[in-house]
Structure 1
């Protein structure tokens, strides 16, 4: 019983210390410039796990650390940090609902918004002023899901694989199918994507593409 309680204490303290270290890493300037929050967060989770594993081995070396306990403690810490990243920071960073709530809060004391005003705020602020469509295109390009070919957007094979997975998950968990669309017919692709397997991603999005994407987002 004493050994079991000791193991739980080690896992609990490691999870807490690892979480505090993770917060520190995320608040540091390390890889902050131009990085995507989700990918940076995952990388920081890995860095945190390595640091915690080394620290735990050094602290418990004199006491004859049980490798199983060390692995379990680091795995628990890593799992907690990843869950926290996905449930809170990434959700807040990408959530349209959070944006809408912030606009409702900002307007409710002087000029409360109705549905039409909130819709206008979304288009004017989120889509146009904050260039969120352009941001999403750039993120997906850097993730390898899309390429820009002569100003036109095409899915890569990775992007198509992701969409197939998204549709399966949507069907399995009953999410809104409008977000994942319908499976395109085999061999039916836009003319400009006829040679999509050999496309090379452009580094910048032409202005006319940015304007078109903004219009589509509105």
Structure 2
């Protein structure tokens, strides 16, 4: 009995070490797989980065589940179980999704990133608000045709529907705006982004 008492802390430490190694392995496998998948042509027909990323995240998650379950099987002597592999992979999926949304999706869509990129291309020059606005209108809206891109993406998402030579918002799109309004209220973001009841927009055309 005397030998069993000091062995318990060692067993707990060994279990914690094994859990840390398992979670680290799951994160490395899923993250590496996710990045490598983006270098392939898999689902390249999905032109919306966020949607393609979600698909590739699921693929990376499935690969990591198989690989991590094998690692958990090897660590049975250290107290690991195959269900631990699932928990580690779910955590890795959540972390990968967070990083994907914060970095690649932001880089792909952010107006701030666009303006910083334009200024980085001319580091010795001064950009006034007027010049930044002119660059935004001529390059972002004009040359890059980002408004057309957004309309096409929202149509593909089901939030808009083509109507003659224009677009109309769908019931799904209105539901999304109601949800966005709730998010804006809870997190105190700029309400004008989702509640665009502007006199200039509501005025009838001349």
Question: If the TM-score is normalised by the length of the shorter chain, which range does it land in?
Answer: 0.7 to 0.9
> In terms of Rg, which structure is larger?
2
Q: Deviations over 1:75-122 (max 9, x none)?
A: 11111110111010001101000000111121233x432221111000
Greater relative contact order: 1 or 2 (C-alpha under 8 angstroms, separation 6 or more)? 1
Question: In the alignment, what sits opposite 1:24?
Answer: 36
State TM-score, norm by structure 2: 0.83
State TM-score, norm by structure 1: 0.78
From 122, 130, 141, the equivalent of 1:116 is: 130
Shift of 1:164: 0.3
Greater share of helix = 2
5+ long unaligned stretches in structure 2: 1-11, 198-206
Residue 73 (structure 2) pairs with residue 61 (structure 1): yes
Residue 185 (structure 2) pairs with residue 171 (structure 1): yes
**Partner of 1:70: helix, strand, or coil?**
helix
8 A Cα contact 1:107 1:113, kept in partner: no
Shift of 1:62: 4.9
Shift of 1:167: 0.5
Counting matched residue pairs gives 183
Which shows bigger deviation, 4-13 or 62-71? 62-71
Question: In the alignment, what sits opposite 2:148?
Answer: 134
From 60, 74, 91, the equivalent of 2:89 is: 74
Q: Distance in 2 between matches of 1:67 and 1:108?
A: 53
Q: Distance in 1 between matches of 2:46 and 2:128?
A: 36
Q: Distance in 1 between matches of 2:149 and 2:53?
A: 18
**Partner of 1:61: helix, strand, or coil?**
helix
Distance 1:59 1:5, change over 3 A: closer
Q: Distance in 1 between matches of 2:196 and 2:154?
A: 20
What RMSD over aligned residues (CA atoms) do the two structures have, in Å?
Answer: 1.8
